[in-house]
């Protein structure tokens, strides 16, 4: 191994932390729990990370910056708004499947962020929601969408996509692609048959 030496333990800590935080919550997870999962004493972790809070910050901001940069990419494309919204839905599902633990933590445990980070995170989320909402609004103006309340549409989509974290396990009856297709159908054409 060449560079398996430095920050790999740090990475391992972050991964195990995400899993544990998702499972038992941030407050419900002790540094000794986490250390046990990593295969180390609690004290030894402080050779790799500054504090428990820092772990949470790293997880949350990695997720939020991923979402924000991906949103920017989608905004920049030339496509009908229907397609942009579909891309965003697929983005959420994909991230949830690929990095479910971290996304869960960013969704649920952000409230435990210590104060400078807390406002920063909330601002980032608000910025993301604003960009998402703008796409819906423009889609309505362009006549592609029904004239539904924008906030309702936005949060319905954002939430509808969250349950994947609770439900999806690889090797489920549905593949990731089928899952995406089904959710997109639900959200864009609705449950009812016309």
For binding to its own copies (CB under 8 A), which residues are involved? Answer: 23-28, 82, 85, 108, 111-112, 136, 143-146, 148-149, 151-153, 155-163, 166-167, 173-174, 178-179, 182-183, 185-194
Residue 12 or 140: the one with the smaller Cβ distance to DNA is: 12
Which positions touch DNA (CB under 7 A)?
A: 5-6, 9, 29-33, 40-44, 46-48, 51-53
Residues 6+ apart with CB under 8 A from 101: 15, 18, 19, 21, 22
CB count in 10 Å sphere of residue 130: 11
130 makes contact, choosing from its own copies, DNA, none, with CB < 5 to 8 Å by partner type, with: none
Query: Tokens standing for 25?
Result: 């919550």
CA separation (Å) from 160 to 75, 82, 89? 21, 17, 9
Residue 98 or 178: the one with the smaller Cβ distance to its own copies is: 178
* Vertex 94 angle, CA 10 and 154, to 5°: 110
Residue 28 or 39: the one with the smaller Cβ distance to its own copies is: 28
């Amino acid at each position: 191994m060449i560079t398996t030496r430095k920050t790999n333990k740090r990475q391992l800590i972050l991964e195990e932390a995400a899993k544990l935080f998702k499972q038992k919550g941030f407050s419900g997870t002790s540094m000794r729990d986490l250390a046990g999962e990593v295969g180390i004493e609690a004290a030894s972790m402080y050779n790799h990370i500054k504090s428990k809070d820092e772990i949470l910050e790293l997880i949350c901001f990695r997720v939020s910056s991923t979402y924000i940069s991906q949103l920017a990419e989608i905004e920049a494309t030339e496509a009908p708004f229907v397609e942009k919204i579909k891309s965003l839905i697929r983005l959420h599902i994909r991230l949830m499947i690929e990095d479910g633990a971290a996304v869960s933590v960013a969704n649920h445990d952000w409230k435990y962020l210590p104060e400078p980070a807390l406002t920063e995170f909330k601002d980032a989320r608000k910025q993301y929601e604003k960009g998402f909402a703008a796409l819906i609004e423009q889609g309505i103006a362009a006549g592609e969408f029904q004239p539904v309340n924008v906030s309702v549409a936005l949060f319905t989509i954002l939430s509808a996509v969250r349950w994947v974290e609770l439900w999806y396990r690889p090797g489920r009856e549905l593949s990731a692609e089928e899952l995406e297709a089904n959710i997109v159908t639900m959200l864009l054409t609705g449950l009812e048959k016309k």
